[in-house]
Amino acid sequence: MTTKRQREIVIEFERVQLIRKRAHTTIVNCSKCNSDVDCVTASLAAELFDIELGEFLGFVTRFGVHHEHGPTGTAICVPSLLAEMQQRHDKGTKLILDSASHGLDEIGRIY
């Protein structure tokens, strides 16, 4: 058998890692949802995603996540946050984190 050409085959493996973190929420009335929803403080949400508070608040304001400022900090509407995260994920939009430095390619999406 005579070799005429050579090829190189590259195989990539993608894995998804599940990380479970818990947070205490409070039930409040979201004026934009017009219903009682779970809310979490912005500082706690940033801690859950292991990002700086400023980065998280940038995401909240840039994508219109429902939030209200109060005496104990900024309250984030969890259903609104999850909906925006899912929408960004579906569009494949890179949002907050640099994949090389955090192991995440968008908020909440771990590779």
Q: Looking at domain 26-110, which CATH architecture does it have? A: Orthogonal Bundle (1.10)
**DSSP structure string for 13-31:** -------------EEEEET
The SS3 assignment for 54 reads helix
Give residue 50's pLDDT. Answer: 87
Q: What is the pLDDT of residue 97?
A: 47
Q: Structural domain boundaries of the chain?
A: 26-110
pLDDT per 10-residue tile (average), the chain, 111 residues: 66 72 88 94 91 93 93 92 88 56 44 35
How many CB atoms neighbour CB 20 within 10 A? Answer: 4
State the Cα–Cα distance between residues 61 and 84, nearest whole angstrom: 11
pLDDT given at position 57: 94
pTM: 0.68
Q: Are 23 and 2 in contact (CB under 8 A)?
A: no
Give, for 47, the enclosing helix (H) or strand (E): helix 42-48
